[in-house]
Amino acid sequence: MGKRQTAPEGAGSTRYRFESIGCVGEWLSLSTLSVSLWATVIMASILDVLTTTVGLRRGLSEGNVLAGALVETLGVGGFVGLKLAAVAVLVTTWYLVDEQQRYAALAGFGGVTVVVVVCNVATIATS
């Protein structure tokens, strides 16, 4: 019988290597989801401000009572401030809740904002 050979130092088992790759793959997919959801939130929020501004300049009124009061009092800057405050609450929520709730919060905020933008565009197009 010969001397038993061992794996070179630093070489782990094949199973361990595949598990590590799986974890990296999972992290990358969650990271991609985070980036996609944040991009949606940011772009939809910018489009909401732009479409609201266009609508107001065309004589339309703001449908949200709080936003409407801020626009009457402070102009479009009041609406921008409200949007920034809402995003700040979203960022705070992101840091306070677990991972699953983070994605739900982003998806909910982004989804509602996209719907608002679509409604704004439709209202402007038909006015």
pTM: 0.75
* Selected residue with higher pLDDT from 102 and 3: 102
Q: Domain-by-domain residue ranges, the chain?
A: 37-125
- Over residues 15-70, the pLDDT tens digits come to 555 455 455 455 556 688 889 999 999 999 999 999 999 999 999 999 999 999 99
Packing angle of the helix pair 99-125, 14-57 (nearest 10 deg): 30
Per-residue pLDDT averaged across 5-15, rounded?
52
Specify the pLDDT at position 112: 97
pLDDT for 31: 80
Distance from the first to the final alpha carbon of the chain:
90
Integer Cα distance of 86 and 106 in angstroms: 12
- The answer to whether 75 and 56 are in contact (CB under 8 A) is no
| Range in 10-24, 47-61, 96-110, 112-126 with the lowest mean pLDDT | 10-24
Average pLDDT score over the chain:
85
Angle at 123 between CA 118 and CA 127, to 5 degrees: 155
How many CB atoms sit inside 10 A of residue 116's CB? Answer: 18
